[in-house]
């Protein structure tokens, strides 16, 4: 898509895209978007939802939740009201958004029916019903996106575990209906179901490559049977479960079969990325620890970090300064910022203050990439259409502290400018482990 060059410099406002926002109706309001034959199941689902509200409450900080709703009653209506939504985005300085489901991440009152949402896990939903719920949400979301289409990319909810063919058909339908924010697949395929290296899923990846829809996971699901009610376990593991499909794609040849496919991990932090790339690359190079293993497969024609650069991205919603300090290892262009609007763990309605905290000591050009340019490319936003919005609402570099000398607390890690140090020299020594590697038959040591 031909689109104007990005504006730069201290007097150019940032063009900000949140690659992670949420929208959804109250569950019962999805009825009009749900095929009539599923209406009886919707009644049952609503009763079940009501009966489990108390259990969900036990996982919440009641006081915080009460205050959150009281403070943000108006703003939260933006979850389904397009006009209010634009006002809230404007307030946050956000010109464009990529919209995931489940606007209410507190009480789950805006969950699409039958488990079609950010908590999707194979085995935890009925495939036929989840697809019906996904269709209802996707239809409604397409309506929302038709209002201010330049600013919105709607994510197609795609419960692909179960009936792969039907899921692929729904992706095609929803795309034709106007959704352009990629697809969201279940983070977990679930015990006993096909893992994501199974080529049965190729028909989904093929549709996504053809239609230029990035495949995404979003933090939410975790294996409840393992974790029980221990919220600390959930807090520690949840990112891993949604990040996991990424290395399934990289190691098992999905990007060789679908070289134009893109895969993104949303709202899982950035802290695991550099180590994962390091760890995969070092293993791939058959360093000491993996010498004994057979081939990683003929399809592994490139280093894992090369597939990452070519095919993957990571969502940096409310990234921490520690995480941004690793941006040269992760790759600046691979990081897509998000405000997670309107979730309480996101930065809304204080995004401008958050940006100052996170980006004050990041160079302006890199900031532009992470805050917007990477998302423009990934989701084919039209920069020209968004430019007037950005000019009206986008913060200037000075507004987020980039006119000040960088401040960092003692000991806080600075960004290592060298990036992927392991590519410049092996991270393991060239110590022979076999006599023949030494080129002489004598005893080693």
Residues between 381 and 420 with contacts to a second copy, criterion CB under 8 A: 409-413, 416-419
Residues 6+ apart with CB under 8 A from 357: 321
Q: Which stretch binds a second copy (CB under 8 A): 31-39, 55-63, 168-176, 200-208?
A: 55-63
Give yes or no for residue 318 binding a second copy (CB under 8 A).
yes
Q: Looking only at residues 420 through 439 of this chain, which bind a second copy when binding is defined by CB under 8 A? A: 421-422, 424-425, 427-429, 431-436
Among 256, 300, 306, 333, binds a second copy (CB under 8 A): 300
Contact 115, 137 (CB under 8 A): no
Q: List the one residue out of 372, 360, 349, 358 whose CA is nearest residue 397.
A: 360
CB of 415 to a second copy, least distance (A): 11
CB of 41 to a second copy, least distance (A): 28
Q: Which stretch binds a second copy (CB under 8 A): 17-25, 177-185, 205-213, 279-287?
A: 279-287
Give yes or no for residue 124 binding a second copy (CB under 8 A).
no
Length of the chain: 445
Q: Which is nearer to a second copy, 181 or 395 (CB)?
A: 395
Q: Which is nearer to a second copy, 65 or 211 (CB)?
A: 65
- Phi, psi (5° rounding) for residue 65? -60, -45
Q: Which stretch binds a second copy (CB under 8 A): 12-20, 175-183, 229-237, 383-391?
A: 229-237
Instruction: Kindly write out the interface string for residues 355-374 of this chain, putting x where it contacts a second copy by CB under 8 A and - elsewhere.
Output: --x-----------------
CB of 372 to a second copy, least distance (A): 21
Please, is 326 exposed, middle or buried when counting C-beta atoms within 10 Å of its C-beta (0-12, 13-18, 19+)?
buried
State the Cα–Cα distance between residues 369 and 352, nearest whole angstrom.
Answer: 17
Q: Which stretch binds a second copy (CB under 8 A): 9-17, 62-70, 362-370, 398-406?
A: 62-70
Give yes or no for residue 338 binding a second copy (CB under 8 A).
no
Among 354, 364, 396, 399, binds a second copy (CB under 8 A): 354
Among 284, 337, 341, 379, binds a second copy (CB under 8 A): 284
Sheet strands side by side (includes 17-22)? 17-22, 96-100, 152-154
DSSP 133-181: HHHHHHHHHHHHHHSSGGGEEEPEE---SS-HHHHHHHHHHHHHTT--S
CB of 157 to a second copy, least distance (A): 23
Number of residues this chain uses to bind a second copy (CB under 8 A): 95
Among 322, 391, 392, 440, binds a second copy (CB under 8 A): 322
Contact 396, 10 (CB under 8 A): yes
Give yes or no for residue 123 binding a second copy (CB under 8 A).
no
CB of 246 to a second copy, least distance (A): 10
Burial track 25-34 (b if 16+ CB lie within 10 A, e otherwise): bebeebbebb
State the Cα–Cα distance between residues 351 and 268, nearest whole angstrom.
Answer: 18
Give yes or no for residue 55 binding a second copy (CB under 8 A).
no
Say how many C-beta atoms besides its own lie within 10 A of residue 98's C-beta.
27
Give yes or no for residue 224 binding a second copy (CB under 8 A).
no
CB of 437 to a second copy, least distance (A): 8
Task: For residue 312, give the H/E element and its range.
Answer: strand 312-315
Q: Looking only at residues 243 through 262 of this chain, which bind a second copy when binding is defined by CB under 8 A? A: 244, 247-248, 250-252
Can you state the angle between helices 273-284 and 304-311, rounded to 10 degrees? Answer: 130
Among 32, 73, 293, 442, binds a second copy (CB under 8 A): 293
State the Cα–Cα distance between residues 372 and 386, nearest whole angstrom.
Answer: 11
The CA R_g of the chain, rounded to the nearest whole Å, is: 23
Among 12, 46, 65, 82, binds a second copy (CB under 8 A): 65
In eight-state DSSP terms, residue 412 is P
Task: For residue 64, give the H/E element and its range.
Answer: helix 62-76
Q: Which is nearer to a second copy, 149 or 426 (CB)?
A: 426
Give yes or no for residue 442 binding a second copy (CB under 8 A).
no
Contact 18, 348 (CB under 8 A): no
Give yes or no for residue 292 binding a second copy (CB under 8 A).
yes
Q: Which is nearer to a second copy, 80 or 240 (CB)?
A: 240
Give yes or no for residue 77 binding a second copy (CB under 8 A).
no
Q: Cα angle at 181 between 219 and 203, to 5 degrees?
A: 85
Instruction: Kindly write out the interface string for residues 178-217 of this chain, putting x where it contacts a second copy by CB under 8 A and - elsewhere.
Output: -------------xx--x-x--------------------
Give yes or no for residue 109 binding a second copy (CB under 8 A).
no
State the Cα–Cα distance between residues 434 and 389, nearest whole angstrom.
Answer: 64
């Amino acid at each position: 898509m031909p689109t104007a060059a990005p504006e730069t410099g201290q007097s150019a406002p940032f063009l900000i895209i949140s690659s992670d926002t949420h929208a959804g109706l109250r569950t019962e309001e999805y009825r009009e978007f749900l095929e009539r034959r599923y209406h009886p199941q919707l009644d049952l689902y609503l009763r079940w939802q009501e009966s489990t509200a108390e259990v969900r409450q036990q996982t919440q900080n009641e006081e915080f939740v009460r205050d959150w709703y009281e403070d943000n009653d108006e703003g939260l209506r933006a979850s389904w009201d397009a006009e209010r939504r634009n006002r809230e985005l404007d307030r946050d300085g956000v010109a464009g958004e990529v919209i995931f489901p489940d606007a209410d991440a507190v009480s789950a009152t805006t969950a699409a029916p039958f488990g079609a949402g950010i908590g999707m896990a194979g085995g935890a939903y009925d495939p036929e019903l989840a697809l019906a719920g996904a269709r209802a949400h996707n239809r409604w979301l397409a309506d929302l996106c038709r209002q201010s289409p330049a600013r919105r990319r709607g994510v197609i909810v795609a419960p692909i575990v179960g009936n792969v063919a039907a899921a692929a058909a729904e992706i095609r339908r929803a795309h034709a209906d106007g959704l352009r924010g990629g697809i969201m697949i279940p983070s977990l395929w679930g015990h006993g179901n096909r893992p994501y290296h199974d080529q049965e899923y190729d028909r989904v990846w093929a549709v996504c490559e053809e239609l230029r829809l990035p495949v995404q996971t979003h933090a939410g699901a975790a294996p409840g049977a393992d974790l029980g009610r221990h919220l600390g376990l959930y807090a520690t593991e949840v990112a891993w479960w949604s990040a996991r499909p990424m290395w399934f794609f990289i190691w098992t040849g999905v990007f060789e079969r679908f070289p134009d496919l893109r895969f993104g991990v949303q709202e899982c932090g950035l802290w695991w990325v550099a180590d994962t790339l390091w760890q995969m690359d070092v293993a791939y190079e058959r360093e000491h620890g993996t010498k004994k293993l057979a081939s990683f497969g003929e399809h592994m024609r490139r280093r894992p970090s090369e597939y990452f650069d070519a095919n993957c991205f990571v969502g940096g919603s409310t990234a921490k300064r520690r995480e941004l300090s690793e941006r040269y290892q992760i790759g600046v262009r691979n990081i897509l910022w998000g405000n997670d609007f309107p979730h309480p763990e996101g930065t809304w309605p204080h995004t401008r203050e958050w940006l100052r905290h996170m980006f004050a000591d990041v160079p302006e050009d890199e900031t532009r990439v992470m805050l917007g340019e990477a998302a423009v490319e990934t989701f084919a936003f039209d920069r020209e259409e968004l430019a007037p919005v950005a000019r009206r609402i986008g913060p200037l570099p000075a507004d987020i502290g980039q006119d000040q000398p960088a401040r960092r607390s003692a000991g806080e890690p600075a960004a290592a400018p060298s990036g992927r140090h392991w590519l410049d020299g092996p991270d393991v020594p060239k110590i022979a482990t076999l006599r023949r590697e030494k080129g002489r038959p004598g005893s080693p040591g």
